[in-house]
Structure formats: C-alpha cells, structure tokens
Amino acid sequence: MKLCMIGTGYVGLVSGVCFSDLGNEVICVDKDKEKIENLKKGIIPIYEPGLEELVLKNFKNRRLSFTSNLINAVKKSDIIFICVGTPSKKNKSDADLNQIFTVGKEISKSINKFKIIVTKSTVPVTTGDYLEKIIKIKSNNKFSIVSNPEFLREGEAIRDFIYPDRIIVGSNDKKSNKIMNNLYAPLISKGAKYMSTSRRSAELIKYASNAFLATKITFINEIANLCEKIDVDVEDISIGIGLDKRIGSRFLRAGPAYGGSCFPKDTKAIVSSANKFNINLSVIKSVINSNNKRSKLLLIRVNKILSNKIKNKKITFLGVTFKANTDDMRDSSSLEMIPYLSKKGAKIKYYDPTGFKKEFVKFKNVTYSNSIKDAVKDSELVIIHTEWNDFKSINFKKLSPSKKLKIYDMRNIFSLSKIKSQGFKYFSIGK
C-alpha cells in the first residue's frame, strides 16, 4: 500500500519505517527541512535502538522516502497518517490541536482520489469529528477519518510496533476498517490483537490507557512514601500485589515523577476534555496533583541526605532523560531537580548515554561529563535518575576513592546490602 506519515518524529518515523519494512511504500513528511535533509543522508534525528539500521535498509531499497512536500506526498498516497505533536496549550491543560488542524487544512487541498486519513497522534475524543468538518470543505467527501492511536514506548518502539499488545482502529465506515485490517494483516498473523471500534472510542482508549498507567505509577510512588516510614521494602509490595492477575506486575516500580512526552500532557488533556462534558475525573486529577508534588518530595530527601547544606555541594546526575533508552527530555523530572539544586548553589555534573542536553545550558554550575568516571570523580552525592543499563554495573569503589560519597538511587537499580557493604551511604526509594 502507499502510505504517507505526516510528522517524522518519534511516532511518525518509527511507524513509517516499520510499515515500509512490512513491504509498503512509505513517504515520511516533515515541515522541518533540516530533519528531512539529514534523514536523506542517513542521519537519524532521535535515539531509538535499532532505528538507524531499519531506516537505512528501507531507504536503500526505495520503500521509504523523505520529503517536506506534504501536498505531493498526500496525492501519491492511499492512507495518510497524521503523526504531529499534540502538546499541552501554554499554561493550560487542554491539548493544543493546532498542528493537527493545520495538517488537516493542507491535506484537504490535495485530495485527488479516495483517501483514508488516520490520526495516529494522541487526540482528545471528538477531534476526528472536527477534522472531518475541516477537510470536507474542499474535498467532495472522498475521504474517511480513522483513529488509530499509537501505543509504542520510546526505547522499545520498534519491538512495540512489530509485537503490539493490541491494534486499535476506530472508524465509522466498514470500507476503511477493512483496508486498515489489511494493512495490519502481517502483524495480526503474528498474533497481534486487532480491535475495531468507533472513532470516538479509539480516541478515548488512548487517553484512558495513559491515564491508567500514570495512575499505577503514582499509586506505587505513594505506597513507597509510606514504606520509607515503616521499614518496609516497596519492591516486596510491588511483587506481592503484582502477582494478583487483576493488578499485574508492570508499571509498579517506584521512582521519580512520571514524565515524558505523553503521560503529563495526556492526563491533563483527558481531564480537560471531560470538563467540557461536565464530567469530573477526580481520580486522574488527584494523580496529576500527586505527580506534580513528587519532584519536590524527592528534593526534600536530597536536602536531608546533604544535611540541609546544598550550597557548593558536588552533585552528579546519572541519566537525565525521563526514562532509559531514549534521548527524550520532554517533561523529565531532571528538568525540575537540576535547576532547583543549581539555584541553591550546588555544583552539578551530569552524564547521560545520549549526550549533552541543551536544556541545562542556562543554569549556573551545571556541566556535562562525557563519561561516568568523570561525572562521579570528586562527587559528594550521586543521584541515579534514569535506569540505563550502563549504570547497573558501576563499581563505585573503583570510581570514588572517598567513602564519603553518598548515593541516592531513585530507580532502585542496586541492591541495598551490596552497595552498603562497599561502605557507601546508600539511599533509595521506598526502602
């Protein structure tokens, strides 16, 4: 099939390249001309394991191409996936749908035959209805709007695309549903569950899923707070409750506030969508509120660990992205913690396997180290912020001659007894 992905970011590029690997002809479109030129040269704009190889392979065999010319790409395609960003509006909870509607208007100028227009971006329920109205004005109805939300996780995006837990397709007409089912047939034949539903349901399934996962994380983070007061290990609690099949063991790892490009904005947006229908999603509101306080809570612990003397303290952050195996900094809790500590006068070094981060340039005494060794050397407190595998085998004895080094493991990647036996002061979450 001939496909076009509008928006070549985490979702558009990964799903575009995977669709091309399944044998489709895929055009990836982006308004960012530099990104497109780089992709044509084989320079990949994001860090995602396995992505580079797959892009090069499919670009070489001409199933995958890149362009900034949206109109031509739409004309040549049968199915158009909208994969642009849907961030929160500035200082507001609602999703900003400007990018979606701008693309909708552009598409309406290029409909030369029947097209399926799919929102892969996460959009509030009823967005498809509005999009339909926008496109209808110029297109003589030769199109169908479908919702096919994306569930891939950064860091495991390719695997998630090939082996999804489920494929959700929301469409109000049978013809489009059949075409979408055909498109996904290679994944369905490998066992992926395909759920066909109404367009509004598909839109809401995505938001409800993210809100539920954010709730699970926030729930275990609060239980961890209690564990710290009563000499109980939160990991025992996670295992104990996770063994109940009704609950399940995933997303029960206590740690910093949830961040990333999805959970913070999507929890806010579902609350805001519900408000428009006079529905109070009080559970999700409470999750947002608890998560907003989480970084402050962990910073209070940092204060205590340093006996309330942050000024001039040498603090190292290992990992600053919101999770491992991605370079994505959007809404990472390090963006709250590092500026706070810098303002209090700490001298901060950070190391991240995905390199230097422009987000910290403006802060005083915050420097990037290009190795774990350099980052840890002379440090007084190491904060393990992100659970990269690279950190799991660190031998602090080798890296830090001083037994005064304190370690605050916000991801519980080390065993309490092992690290204490090396003589370091070790602090973790929910223990």
Nearest to 289 by CA among 257, 253, 244: 257
The catalytic residue positions are 262
Interatomic CA distance for residues 223 and 233, integer angstroms: 10
Cβ of residue 103: shortest distance to ligand NAD, in angstroms? 5
The amino acid present at 396, given as its one-letter code, is: F
Two tokens at 156? Answer: 């495991």
Of 108, 121, 295, 332, the one binding ligand NAD (CB under 6 A) is: 121
Is residue 249 near ligand NAD by the rule CB under 6 A?
no
> What is the sign of the dihedral through the CA atoms of 349, 354, 357 and 359?
negative
Cβ of residue 2: shortest distance to ligand NAD, in angstroms? 18
Is residue 262 near ligand NAD by the rule CB under 6 A?
yes
Bridge partners, residue 6, by sequence: 29, 82
* Pick 100 or 341: Cβ nearer ligand NAD: 100
Pick the stretch among 83-91, 139-147, 174-182, 345-353 that binds ligand NAD (CB under 6 A): 83-91
Two tokens at 86? Answer: 């849907």
Of 38, 88, 102, 197, the one binding ligand NAD (CB under 6 A) is: 102
Pick the stretch among 30-38, 182-190, 195-203, 269-277 that binds ligand NAD (CB under 6 A): 30-38
* Pick 150 or 331: Cβ nearer ligand NAD: 150
Pick the stretch among 28-36, 137-145, 287-295, 411-419 that binds ligand NAD (CB under 6 A): 28-36
Contact predicate 80/6, CB 8 Å: yes
Interatomic CA distance for residues 399 and 40, integer angstroms: 42
Cβ of residue 421: shortest distance to ligand NAD, in angstroms? 39
Pick the stretch among 4-12, 237-245, 287-295, 304-312 that binds ligand NAD (CB under 6 A): 4-12
Q: Which residue is nearest to ligand NAD (CB)?
A: 9
Interatomic CA distance for residues 161 and 222, integer angstroms: 32
Of 3, 8, 379, 431, the one binding ligand NAD (CB under 6 A) is: 8
Of 15, 58, 77, 99, the one binding ligand NAD (CB under 6 A) is: 99
For tokens 């169908």, what's the residue? 144
Instruction: Classify residue 425 by its DSSP letter.
Output: E
Total residues contacting ligand NAD by CB under 6 A comes to 27
Is residue 30 near ligand NAD by the rule CB under 6 A?
yes
Strands (E), 18-150: 25-29, 64-67, 79-82, 115-119, 143-147
Contacts of 141 (CB under 8 A, 6+ apart): none
Interatomic CA distance for residues 97 and 95, integer angstroms: 6
Interatomic CA distance for residues 250 and 253, integer angstroms: 8
Is residue 103 near ligand NAD by the rule CB under 6 A?
yes
Of 65, 67, 77, 86, the one binding ligand NAD (CB under 6 A) is: 86
Positions that interact with ligand NAD (CB under 6 A): 6-12, 29-32, 35, 70, 83-86, 99, 102-103, 121-122, 150, 152, 154, 261-262
